[in-house]
Structure 1
Amino acid sequence: MPDRHIARILPLQGFELPEVADLIYAAALGEGASWRDLGDRLMSLMDAQRATLWLANEFGKTGNLLMRRDSYDDEYASRYVVLDPYRQAAGKIGLEEAQRLRGDVRLGHEIVADSSYVRSEFYTDFGRKSSRRYLIGGLIGTSEVIPLGLHRDAASRPFADDDKRTLALLIPHLKRALQMRAQLTPTASALGAGALDVLPLGVIVVSQEMKLLYCNAEAAALLEEPRFGLFATRHGRGPGTGTNESGLRARHPEDDAQLRRLVGAASRGAAGGGMRIRARPGALPSEPVTLWTLICPALRHLSSPGQPNMGTGVIRGAATVLVRRLLAPSAPSSALLTDLFRLTRSEAEVAAILAGGVSAEDVARARNVSLDTVRSQIRAILKKTGASSLRDFERIVALGSTMQAASASRPPFGNQVASHPEER
């Protein structure tokens, strides 16, 4: 292994990894960087000529987000996608096996024998000229299994085990960033800094020692409600308003220990993780849980909501905790849907009903209009929201219950976390 490659890998673990992680979150949330910026950085880091991550963009159109579309993409989509040996191998993997392999990183020859690949029609007619001689890839596990791939041309050396270790460090951050993207957008990007207080999704920023640095309105409401499994140990303050002495705790001892572990890991630069929070100590496994939490590195623009255009940088020594109620689904406000997607009043009213799973026929009967009218409105709603189907529209609106305006009874943006008796 060349010495120059050793010099490139070691700085990644000490210094370059946090910078790449910052860029991953920035690209995923559209804050200060693009997916192409990330693609350029990944290709430079991995000495690769091509990078692929096929996802829907902000307009709902699926494509490779890491590179500008070129003639090779068109050629691949029109003919060579069905001849791709790697894709054929992936197609033989069942859903259960694909789920198990999430986060796994493989070299090309570990997927398809190198001798078979170089003799394939795909490589001789297409891969050779499009810099697809060597491959390294991994599966990112979110609500679906998403492949990430990097390619080198024939003039380059093959990817090796040290490259696998490098990519394995980054894939967990990609997974967490995509989860945050699903939870926080399009709401946060559509409404700006004030979006955090209209989210029924709780946003909490804590230090490595579990001290509260910031809570949005939904999080403050959750922490003061005794029936939920999280609470604040003392009276706390928002960022920039004085010393913060509040602490975040889980009522169930096992949940509290796991929460502390995940926050500690995320605050030290790891990707964090997700967990369910039980409602009370002694709850049986068969009893329903009330909260789902996603713990990830603290992002600067979430912890500084009063300062717009901060960009997305990861704050060292802190973590973000996203909290969602599992047993309290809420219908979206038609006014908020109008603000988010520029729907007409009539379209927003129909969209609010559809988000609850009601059929087009039921909407037509309830509104005393023709089914054709409702179907026309549905087409307009799907186009404006970028959804491919009603099911996709429900996912956009309902995932994380992020689309409902906060109730007027909740404290104003950035206000103090309501005091709560300290529990041991």
Structure 2
Amino acid sequence: MSRGLNSLISTLYATAQDNDAWATVSDELRHFTDGDKTVFAVRKWADREILNAYQYGFELPAFEVYEEYYFKVDLYTSGLASQAVNQFHAQHQFIHDRDFLNSEIYADFAAPNDIRYLTGCVTDIPGTGLFGQLSTIRGHGGEEFNDDILAQLNLLTPHFRQTLLLGQKIQQLETDLRSRERIVDSMPEAVFILSADCQVLYRNAAADALLSRSGLIKLANRHLTLAGPDPTNRLHKLAKGACDAAAGKALAGGNAFQIEDDNHFLEITAFPFHFRRDGEAGHLGRSATLLIVNDSEKKPALNEETLKALYNLTASEAAVTGLLARGLSPLEIADERTVSLDTVRTQIRSIHQKTGCNNQIQLLSKILGGVSRFS
């Protein structure tokens, strides 16, 4: 494979993340084929309408007119789209020269823009109803594209298709990320996006309000801290675990705990997340932690007898539920009650079943919101 073709393939893949790289592809393709003009377009299969295009060698007003009207009578594009996909075809292989020279598109667009000989390929973009077209053009001073150049160009076709597929996937991921970030902006809960070392990458308006009124959570040198070294260490462990999970380095572990003072308690929940600032490189963004903090008035202490009566819990299960509500992990509960971790896990499963909850967050929400009404 020639150096020019290797360079062209490399530049093709760059377009998956940078649409501006199509200008470089156009220039390299023109040199590689000894062409005068090149075109890349994404079109609809149904009517060949152009949705996006990059060109080299055209006067811009002429190309805009072509996009708006002349593609509708473009024998070349219609003929090319009827050929086998993922393969370069020369114009003479599917259009009689006389038909082309006598066509409306030739008289009104091709001849004035010195378009005489063309070759190109189309490739489908699965699931979109679209196809990509890559063409190179020679003027009246050139000649037909021969089989040798077509064979060289056909080495490009699998890479051309893969590029378009990658571009579509990245575009969808970016759309998903923008949607998620808009949701975060509008959430009524305090939301922080943290790095693995608890640097605040982003916070919403509710988070600013929480920082201004609560003594349990604060910013120090752009890093989030909690009241006391133990809660802060726990927050750091939570943030690192979520970041590692976002990066695919670990499974998401325990992701919630509480801290409290005399009047309030904070419910802190962490999730793996990807975050990218405007203009920051990388389509997926950096691995981060999405931290949601609920600030609530302190509820009365959980009454174990009330828990037993409400949910038919055993005395041990009621005690474990109370410790979960204080924010202790299963391992910490096992240490406090001097029982095995397996015993605590069995009790938690039974508690979930009896209370109709699937996880600790649901359990805390239910018992903190419900038991206080009966205490």
TM-score if structure 1 supplies the norm length?
Answer: 0.39
TM-score if structure 2 supplies the norm length?
Answer: 0.44
- Greater length-normalized contact order (CA 8 Å, ≥ 6 residues apart): 1
Higher Cα radius of gyration: 2
Instruction: Please identify which structure carries the higher strand content.
Output: 2
